[in-house]
């Protein structure tokens, strides 16, 4: 496992820290659709993404969801960091967007490494910054973009994290992620198809130009 850790984080962390991650981390493989974190649960470890993609969602009191951002190889989750360090219940849901490989770091090591390793401290601060920027972009898209623009951004993000122009989500699943109705998404996708930007197949959406 040490080689896989080095391949993903070797340029970020010193060798001593990489060795500690290898010693205390728990390797985990999860299938697409697996729920890693539930709202209201206590988080006892922080994930470092070794492969695949994880989507982070916010759930309201009615169970409706809003996609906040994606985590990819080399990332970690600022929301998880905040909950771990503050010993708070999770306010987000984390679901595997694709099959994913993770290494889980215990809470106590996160706090220890923040003092012990400058590279870890910088990584944590940079992770906060990146996830904050992505969350702000989500807020901006809701506040300032029309739903068709939000859908286009969503399709671009999906292509990026999946590295594939075929999107296997249903119209209803996209509606959940964007906190809107299936009817609206179906209408907008049909318009994109008429414009030659997507092709709507029986079980997937082929993105041609977004």
| Helix, strand, coil share of the chain (percent; to 5) | 50, 25, 30
CATH number of the domain bearing residue 76:
2.60.120.10
Residues 77 and 165 in one domain: no
The pLDDT tens digits of the residues spanning 94-119 come to: 999 999 999 998 888 887 898 899 99
Is pLDDT above 90 for 186? yes
- Provide the 8-state DSSP code for 10: T
Looking at residue 96, its pLDDT comes to 94
Residues 132 and 158 in one domain: no
Residues 133 and 187 in one domain: no
The kind and range of the H/E element at 115 are helix 107-116
Phi then psi dihedrals of residue 142, to 5 deg: -70, -40
Count how many residues are written for the chain: 210
Residue 10 φ/ψ region, left for φ over 0, alpha for ψ in the -120 to 50 degree band, beta for the rest: alpha
User: Which of 101, 117, 143 is the last residue in one of the domains?
Assistant: 143
| Overall domain count for the chain | 2
CATH number of the domain bearing residue 182:
1.10.10.10
Which pTM value belongs to this model?
Answer: 0.74
Residues 127 and 162 in one domain: no
Looking at residue 165, its pLDDT comes to 93
**Full residue range of the structural domain in which residue 76 is found:** 2-143
């Amino acid at each position: 496992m040490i080689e896989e850790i080095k391949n993903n984080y070797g340029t970020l962390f010193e060798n001593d820290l990489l060795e500690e991650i290898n010693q205390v981390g728990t390797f985990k493989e999860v299938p697409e659709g697996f729920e890693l974190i539930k709202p209201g649960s206590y988080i006892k470890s922080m994930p470092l993404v070794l492969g695949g993609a994880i989507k982070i969602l916010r759930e309201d009191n009615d169970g409706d969801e809003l996609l906040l951002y994606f985590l990819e190889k080399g990332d970690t989750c600022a929301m998880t960091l905040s909950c771990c360090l503050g010993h708070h219940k999770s306010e987000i849901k984390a679901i595997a967007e694709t099959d994913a490989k993770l290494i889980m770091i215990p809470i106590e090591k996160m706090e220890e490494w923040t003092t012990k390793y400058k590279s870890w401290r910088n990584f944590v601060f940079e992770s906060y910054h990146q996830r904050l920027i992505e969350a702000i972009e989500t807020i901006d898209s809701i506040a300032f973009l029309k739903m068709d623009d939000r859908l286009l951004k969503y399709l671009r993000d999906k292509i990026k994290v999946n590295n594939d122009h075929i999107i296997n989500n249903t119209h209803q699943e996209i509606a959940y992620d964007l906190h809107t109705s299936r009817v609206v998404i179906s209408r907008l996708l049909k318009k994109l198809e008429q414009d030659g930007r997507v092709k709507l197949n029986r079980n997937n959406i082929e993105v041609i130009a977004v």
